Structure 1
């Protein structure tokens, strides 16, 4: 029987529309690179918080990156505790609260906390933006979706930066409303993506195969990581100074 584009996948006995599943997973990538979207607010915020140093105000752009890194390391614990789907929903909820609240508060310490919470939320589900693709798809389909995932992240970054640039012309508070995009993303994900089945290796041969296939870090990988670190240091400096 030839299946058309309405191909369906089955998981835990539930029937999930293939297109909806893809959109739900890809949608989570729209916010993972958007920490610098509000860099355009740095200059007007420096004018508002004139009693605070410019460097401290500029740190609002970079704080989410630090909390994101921390919660990426903690995400495996959260996943084991509540499951993958709930982890994504939790992360998106945190990103919404931390992203949008600065539009309504005037306390600078509160805004710093919100920026930290935004990064924590994105970091909580960051690895699943790619991991869920591997859970539901294999082969050529998986490779295609991994490419789309990278493109979706770039589109999300461009879109939020563009919208923030428009909203900041009215008031810098409004620029933070771009993170309200996390709500439709959350809904699309909730409605279309089920909890993936757990893959457990029961036999000793499978466990031995996993041990043999473990990849160790080599000097090329370490050099690449260090190079990427310094590249993003310079890029983040440009993002904070451009406004």
Structure 2
């Protein structure tokens, strides 16, 4: 391998990879941005799609659900496959499939076709997401990894900022099909750039040692879990019991299988590493709390305070803008000073300012609530970058596995947060609770609880 004698910071990287590291980062972040933006834009377009195909909202919801199910269930599988194909080939293939899926979605003539092509899109997105963080870790020296992941967090924040408003403009002016077509030029530019610049030295497995039984069990348990939580949040019933039973049984069999398999889909020994399990558990708690905010915030401000949707959307951008601005700074601090408890401090700030946000709502101080919202964004940025770096650095020889496991945990936490928030808000609107509290007061109570979840995360990731 060719190295630079003048710069010891990148002595483990080839000269070409080191020189192109920011181009490679831009390519990876393009894929991340495209997938993230598409998910949020489709949510905005869902009512129009429902009317266009003359179906119920329950039927059209499968456009979103099928995408999420496929992405989450396939992360680990594609992470394993990348050990054989190499990360770059799988990433490029994912780019192609996602872009083609977007094209086919736009030309769909029925809801069934649209759902099928959304699943195709999800396969491509899963390929891209499962190994994107691993690629970033591979092309940057240790002294720059935090900064690179900071840029990744900023791109995620940008996606959260512009997707809802951009989706509304596209749907209103061009129609729902263009929420898919908008990905095509981005995908072409990204693909051409990837073919030219995305070249890194990798150690690949000679054979595809795929645990097909374990893979099948993992897909079954993830689908059962997501359907279980989704149905439970809607009141529960027979489907809840069936999916819950399938999940428990398949999880038990999966653990037995992976414990005794020579080439497991998921190497369970990673869960014995304290350096991995603490930041990973903190990450799940963080995404549970963050997605609860995303669900309850608009409900509170629209239904309780009678704000317009535009006003709610603009104020929700406050937190995302703060994340966008602070994430690169967070990465720089982590790289330069190696502050080992920066992630714990970040989520501690997030938790305390969420409690402050809830208190401001309780006393009716909206300005104070908005300031608190900005501080929540600052805390999120200070947590996400060092936490991701800690997870990916915990077992350097297993970056492919860690990248896909982290992506799975992130989606799991997100969906669990949505399900929990939906259940709690449904209870808030119920008149049979007999607590004598208004829905608004109960929602504020939920915000206090969310602050508590963040504080638990701070304790979990703290390094003594």
TM over 0.5: yes
Structure 2 residue ranges without an equivalent (≥5): 206-268, 289-412, 424-464
Task: Select the residue among 151, 163, 175 that pairs with 1:171.
Answer: 175
Deviation at 1:145, TM superposition (A): 0.4
Deviation at 1:183, TM superposition (A): 2.1
Write the deviation string for residues 155-197 of structure 1: whole angstroms up to 9, x where unpaired: 2354444433222123222222122222222222222221333
Write the deviation string for residues 198-223 of structure 1: whole angstroms up to 9, x where unpaired: 299xxxxxxxxx98x834646x9287
Q: Within 5 Å, which residues of 2 pair with 1:42-191?
A: 42-50=46-54, 52-169=55-172, 170-180=174-184, 181-191=186-196
Distance 2:161 2:103 in 1: 18
Structure 1 residue ranges without an equivalent (≥5): 201-209, 238-243
Match of 1:194, SS state, is coil
- Alpha-carbon spacing, 1:25–1:49, altered in 2? closer, same or farther (3 Å): closer
Deviation at 1:130, TM superposition (A): 0.8
Q: Cα RMSD (Å) of the superposition?
A: 3.5
Larger CA deviation: 160-169 vs 13-22 = 13-22
Q: Within 5 Å, which residues of 2 pair with 1:29-48?
A: 29-34=32-37, 35-48=39-52
Contact 2:36 2:159 in 1 (8 A): yes
Write the deviation string for residues 18-40 of structure 1: whole angstroms up to 9, x where unpaired: 43233223323212423131122
Task: Select the residue among 262, 273, 289 that pairs with 1:214.
Answer: 273
Deviation at 1:225, TM superposition (A): 7.6
Structure 2 counterpart of 1:241? none
- Alpha-carbon spacing, 1:171–1:236, altered in 2? closer, same or farther (3 Å): farther
Distance 1:105 1:116 in 2: 13
Query: Does residue 232 in structure 1 map to residue 418 in structure 2?
Result: yes
Deviation at 1:62, TM superposition (A): 2.7
Contact 2:50 2:60 in 1 (8 A): yes
Deviation at 1:99, TM superposition (A): 2.0
Distance 1:118 1:154 in 2: 22
Deviation at 1:79, TM superposition (A): 0.7
- Alpha-carbon spacing, 1:179–1:158, altered in 2? closer, same or farther (3 Å): farther
* Bigger Rg over Cα: 2
Match of 2:203, SS state, is coil
Distance 1:236 1:131 in 2: 33
Contact 1:16 1:193 in 2 (8 A): no
Kindly indicate whether structure 1 or structure 2 has the higher relative contact order, using CA contacts under 8 Å at least 6 residues apart: 1
Contact 1:29 1:153 in 2 (8 A): yes
Deviation at 1:232, TM superposition (A): 3.3
Normalising by structure 1, report the TM-score.
Answer: 0.76
Greater helix share, 1 or 2? 2
Contact 1:11 1:194 in 2 (8 A): no
Deviation at 1:150, TM superposition (A): 1.3
Write the deviation string for residues 26-84 of structure 1: whole angstroms up to 9, x where unpaired: 3232124231311222222222222x321111221232111101220211232123211
Contact 2:76 2:130 in 1 (8 A): no
Normalising by structure 2, report the TM-score.
Answer: 0.42
- Alpha-carbon spacing, 1:56–1:232, altered in 2? closer, same or farther (3 Å): same
Structure 1 counterpart of 2:200? 195
Distance 2:112 2:133 in 1: 33
